[in-house]
Each structure stands twice: as C-alpha cells, then as structure tokens.
Structure 1
C-alpha cells in the first residue's frame, strides 16, 4: 500500500501550482497530479504541427494581480515578463490615444487629451469612474449593461472606453457581466493605483512560463506527476484516495484544483448548472515584413479587442513579423469557418495598419477556445463555493470558486492560495496594493 502524503492536488494549472507552492513551502508532503503532459491548465501553449510554431492564447496580468505577481517573483518567472505603463487605443485610420492607469496628474491629463473621446464622452466616463473611487459594488445582482444605462454613458464612451476593457478582461457581453466584477477591474486597474494598472505580458509561451512555477514547487519538495488522469476519488478511514487507473495516491487532504466541469465529474457540486463558459478566439498571423509598429494595443470599432506583437514581445523582431489578434467573448466565431474569421481579421487589421495590404501572409492559424473562461453572470456569487465547502479534508480551488475575483489567472492563483490557507490555518495571500495619487483620499484600505 502506498504511503500517505499530507496533500494531493488534482490539476497543475495556476490554481494547483499556487496550492502546491504554498503547501510545500510550509513543509507539507505534496503530490500534484495533472492529466496533461504540460502544466498551466487553460493558460497553455503548444507546438502547432501544421504551423511548426509554438502558439498560445495570450494571457496578461496586471499589477493588481498581487498573488500571481508574488508567485512569479518567487519562482523566477517574473524575469520573463515585459511590463507596460501605457495602453494605446487605436481607431480605424490610425489615430491613437494613450491611457495610463491611476489618478496621478499625468494619468488624468492623458485621459483629458485622448482624441478617441469627445468632451461629453469624457464627462460620462468620469461620472462612471467616480463610482469606483472608494471601491466597487459588493453585490453582483446588477449587469454591466444596466449600469451603463443607469450612469448615462454615451454611445462613444461605451464603444471606445468601457467595451474594449470590459469585454477583454471579463470575456463576455455586457448583459452577462456582473457589475461587481466590471467595477473591480476599473477600481483596481484604473483608479486605485498606477501600479495596479501596469500590464505584464509573458515573453515566453505560456506553458514555458508556468513551468517555472512547477519547477519551483518541485524544488520545495512537491512531487509533480504529469499524464496522471484521475477518474475517481474516495475517502476510507479518514484518508483520501485519488485513482489514476489502477494507481492510487493516498492523502490526508485532497484539493480539486480543476475547472468546474471536471470537478463535477468527481464530486457532486451543488448548482453546477449555474456556471457557463465563454469563448476566446485568437488569430495568429506571420507576415514577410513588419506591418505593425506597436507591441500591444486595443483596436476600436472592430471585432478584434486586442493586438499583441509577438515578435517584439518575445524578442524576435526581424524582417518577418508575428502578430496575434484576440477576439474575446467570441460566441459568433464559434459558428464561423476558419477562412471567414481570417478574412475578416485581415480586412479589419488593414484599417489600422495599411502596410498589411502590401505584405505577404506567410502562414496563419485560428485557435478557438470554447471553454476559455467561466462567465461572471449577475447573481453567480451565490453559487460559487468556498474552498472548504466539501469538508472532511476535501478542498476546492479554481478561478470559478469564491475568490472575490472574476475568471482570471489572478482568480486562479487566489483560489489555490485560499485552499492552502484553509489547510495550514493561516493566510497565504499576498498583501494588496496601497492606493496612490488622488485615490488615497477616497479608497478604503
């Protein structure tokens, strides 16, 4: 019979790796079982056989993602982050506005000068942001669509400010986004502090980036086992057993750090039907020349929310150029053929960067992720379970649990650290950022 370890963690995504790092740091014997041959969960990359390129769906982290930043620094992954203090917003035709986070005079002046909005639109945005100075709603019963109407946002303010940020961060439409989490995004990233709104982009493919987390967990003593697909769990005599085929790992505590649909296959989760997925589609383009002169930007008045210049971000700038375009909340694209998506993306991209028209497209790929995130629909908080909800030494982790955050890598990291906190009996969470600028006068720490 196998030895009994202190904790078995199912899943080596961000949640499972965060759990393992904190538990192994505390000296607990920890085994991590992952069904895939790589770590990172949904934040993954892979070698595309047809393209002969390593591709991923670009994830970013913000300075306010304090737990993800902390784990990145501890594991050494932070050395592979490129940080940005400004976000360019591009309109068709090439006109640019640049926004900075926080309430410093420089950030405020940049907002006032932004040509993408008229004065009436800026007043409407300021009226909306004022609601987030002290914090954000703790109830989640209002949709973002309702909030936009209640605060009398103008059509241009919606299209050029609220839409690109909310859809890109919450990966869903306004009717399906809880105002609590939309408010949290703006409070943490645009109001509370300049540090909170800094954007960090991994310069490595995602699986390589999160491999640093795995290596660090192993250096602390955690046992990581890949290609270990657990098909059932049971508790006998106060000990949990996780069965991967005929092999079983026995543990005093068991953490299910899995997406909600995988958790439901192993455990009866109340109200699991309340959770739904939202898709992301990414378009990968390789041109024979440089067509784009920015490293990252939001694209306005288009289906594409964000552009990432992967050649520059990964430090491979040269004669050719690799771009990734992101369509969040891409429900329509799930029903479209690859060529239709590609043709539309190229047509829209040329409106911002005319050099596309003269360039040769060397190769391209379209990646659809139907289950990219869960949707933070209004009222969902009532059904998001606490990490200790199952009881008897069984814990839940994953961004869909009651983290106080939406479906983000930070939410996943927090869930893992909350599970570790419950097992250890002390908080493992990183300290929150302090308010700066004018926000110090309003924010309640």
Structure 2
C-alpha cells in the first residue's frame, strides 16, 4: 500500500526515508517548489552566491540526525573540530574565551579554570544539574538565572536551543538537550555543521536516495484535504496541520529567527563559529565566501529595520574578528514563525505522533519529541511518525 507524506521538510524526509527503508512505497508531496523547509540552501540573486536560509549547529550527540545522514550516505558532509570547543566573545568587555569540554563522562573540565567559563566557580555548575532535573512548570531564568555562568553560557545557550527568552522559556527541553549531549561527555558535544550547505547535507542526498528506491516526489502541489483510508503522515507546520485537521490541538504562539548573510570572501580558510554575548549578534558562522549571523528569539527586535540591524551586526562581527571592514553586500532573512514559543503552555499543546484520525500520523519539530524545535527534533519526529503509522497498518 502506498503511503502519502505531506510536507518535505526534514520531518517529512526523515519519515519518507524510514518508511522506504522498511519496504513501503512512498508518495511525498510538498506545496513549495523545493524540499527542505526551514533547513535548505538556495542561490541568492542579490548576493550572487548560495546561502542557507538559516544557520544550524548540531552536536555529535544528535544521534537521530547523524543516523539519518548515515542512511542517506551524507554523514561525511558535516564538518567540525575534534574537540568539544566553543569559542565565545563578550562585546561589552571585548574579551574572548573558549569553553573546552573533556571527552569523557566525568566532567573534569569544570575543575579547570582555563576550560570553564571565566569568572565561574565549581559550585556554579550545579545549575546544570538543576536543568537536568527540571520539572514541567520550571522556567529557565528563575531556575538558573544568576551569576556569570548564566550570563556567559546558559542564557545564550537557552536562547539558541529554545528560540524563546529564558524568563518565559520552559527549562525541561533545555535539560533534555543537555542530557543527550553535554552530560554524556565532550565526545557527545562536538560541534558539527554542514560543510557546503544545508541542502547539500540534509536535503539533496535524501531526495536522491528516495528516487533511487522508487519514491514518488511531487513539488508545488498543495494538499487541501486528507483522503479517507489513505495511510498518511502529516509533516507540515502546525497551522497547516490545524487547517487540514481542525480537531487537532497544536502550538499557536511562535518566535522568529533573524539570519544575516554577508558576502565577504575569506579564501579557503577553515570554517568555524563564535558565540557572541552583549550585543545583537548571537552566533557567527565563518565560511569561505559568506559570514552568517543568527539572532534567535528575534520577536524582541522586530522594530528594527533591515539596514539598522545589518549595520549593527556587521560592526559587532568586526569587533569579534578584530578587524575594521566596510559593510559588504548582505541579505537579512527574517523567519517570522520559525518555531513555536517554547513555554510550558505551548509545550502542553504539542501532540504526539498519533493523530485523532486513524491512519494519520503527525511529524514536525512542533510535535512532542521531548526536545525543542531543532533539526534533531524534526528528524526524530519523522521516525516516530513512521513507527506510529506502521503500527496501524
């Protein structure tokens, strides 16, 4: 029996690959003219080069994302250091430092001042334990929000992982991220990112893999209703899922992400990244021809125009790099509904992979994966939806 998958973002692609590997025939439908959703690459005519529509940093403990890449033969397309090193720069003090985790599970890096966050004490790191033990109603800032560890590490980490400001963000999903990465040791927290682009790693190899195995791929086709008695995985944004299935309860509050891309050839230097605190800029990704910047939980900056935000961010990039450079050509990409707001109230609205209707399963980073809305969560949701659907067939 043919299984229909609606939506070709990473959740839909993950479900399609899992079901194809299980021996099922797949029809994958996507309303957009291309696959990838919020994690894809495209040629930007304004910059005259290829860019990602967003920046995504994975960790080596993201086992579902790495298994997905191995399945489609694309694990080699990621790059990153051999050590769990995270460089940061404080714009207010103009000081840089690098967080250096050791590989093993025993976190002796906490005892080494040269490896931990500057100005922190051993006792400060009990905050990590509080996050790991967070209860459903706990918020990040009230739980751990004080001192240099919070200001220089936990706050930027929470904003990046949850895409929600820590004073209203649920602590439990952040604890889940830490449990699967940092708590397991530095070997599970190695930074990883796409060497060439998101599509080259996560999308194009998956489409080729599916086509080689007979999957039917349809782009530019919007599905307006769910056919009865048709095994289906609904891998679309929550508001689209609600339109197709009005009885479904879904998250309905969202946060934006602002990504900026500056075209500035650096030559064949090794790609790297920086965490930034004290300004608009939060993460800088340095590539061969483009410097990209991510600002998460960006609803708070919605009043800023593109020219203003680009000028300030570029000034901050120059400060981090220790250079004075003229503002190059740039592109500002503002995703208004990038993720659901990761608050306790919105977490309660996340459905599991089983929908209220028989033979229909749900996938997407907005479903209840136990994680915030990340690539790892999206890919995990596709696997869970495939299992939920197969249990009904």
Same structural fold, with TM-score higher than 0.5 when normalized by the shorter chain: yes
* Partner Cα distance (1:115, 1:388) in 2: 43
CA distance 1:233–1:270, change in 2 (3 Å): closer
- Cα shift readout 1:135-166 (whole Å, capped 9, x = no counterpart): 543x42111122125xxx31x22210111211
Residue in structure 2 matched with residue 167 of structure 1 by the alignment: 159
TM-superposed CA distance for 1:130, in Å, is 3.1
Q: Is the 8 A contact 1:140 1:380 kept in 2?
A: no
* Partner Cα distance (2:140, 2:343) in 1: 10
1:79-90 mapped onto 2 (5 Å cutoff): 79-84=76-81, 85-90=84-89
Residue in structure 1 matched with residue 244 of structure 2 by the alignment: 266
* Partner Cα distance (2:274, 2:112) in 1: 16
TM-superposed CA distance for 1:225, in Å, is 1.3
Residue in structure 2 matched with residue 183 of structure 1 by the alignment: 175
Matched, 1:13 2:13: no
TM-superposed CA distance for 1:218, in Å, is 2.3
Residue in structure 2 matched with residue 383 of structure 1 by the alignment: 349
CA distance 1:74–1:349, change in 2 (3 Å): same
Residue in structure 1 matched with residue 264 of structure 2 by the alignment: 287
Residue in structure 2 matched with residue 431 of structure 1 by the alignment: none
Residue in structure 2 matched with residue 125 of structure 1 by the alignment: 124
Q: Is the 8 A contact 2:16 2:28 kept in 1?
A: yes
TM-superposed CA distance for 1:289, in Å, is 5.7
CA distance 1:388–1:115, change in 2 (3 Å): closer
Q: Secondary structure at the match of 1:255?
A: strand
> Which structure has the larger Rg?
1
* Partner Cα distance (1:123, 1:115) in 2: 9
TM-superposed CA distance for 1:263, in Å, is 0.8
1:317-328 mapped onto 2 (5 Å cutoff): 321-328=289-296
Q: Aligned match of 1:65 in 55, 62, 68?
A: 62
* Partner Cα distance (1:136, 1:21) in 2: 34
Is 10-19 or 179-188 further displaced after alignment? 179-188
CA distance 1:421–1:167, change in 2 (3 Å): same
* Partner Cα distance (1:130, 1:281) in 2: 31
Residue in structure 2 matched with residue 99 of structure 1 by the alignment: 100
CA distance 1:327–1:31, change in 2 (3 Å): same
Q: Secondary structure at the match of 2:328?
A: strand
* Partner Cα distance (2:2, 2:79) in 1: 37
Residue in structure 2 matched with residue 403 of structure 1 by the alignment: 369
**What are the ranges of 5 or more consecutive residues in structure 1 without an aligned counterpart?**
240-251, 312-320, 427-445
Q: Secondary structure at the match of 1:174?
A: coil
TM-superposed CA distance for 1:307, in Å, is 0.7
CA distance 1:294–1:386, change in 2 (3 Å): closer
Aligned residues: 385
TM-score (ref. length: structure 1): 0.80
* Partner Cα distance (2:157, 2:216) in 1: 39
Q: What RMSD in Å do the two structures reach over aligned CA positions?
A: 2.4
Residue in structure 2 matched with residue 421 of structure 1 by the alignment: 387
* Partner Cα distance (2:332, 2:205) in 1: 27
Residue in structure 1 matched with residue 109 of structure 2 by the alignment: 108
Residue in structure 2 matched with residue 246 of structure 1 by the alignment: none
- Cα shift readout 1:300-340 (whole Å, capped 9, x = no counterpart): 222211110021xxxxxxxxx52111111111332211110
Residue in structure 2 matched with residue 198 of structure 1 by the alignment: 190
Q: Secondary structure at the match of 1:232?
A: coil
Q: Secondary structure at the match of 1:296?
A: strand
* Partner Cα distance (1:398, 1:115) in 2: 35
* Partner Cα distance (1:281, 1:332) in 2: 11
Q: Aligned match of 1:144 in 136, 140, 143?
A: 140
1:180-259 mapped onto 2 (5 Å cutoff): 180-209=172-201, 210-235=203-228, 239=229, 252-259=230-237
Q: Secondary structure at the match of 2:314?
A: helix
CA distance 1:421–1:91, change in 2 (3 Å): same
* Partner Cα distance (1:101, 1:373) in 2: 32
Runs of 4+ in 1 over 6 A off after TM superposition: none
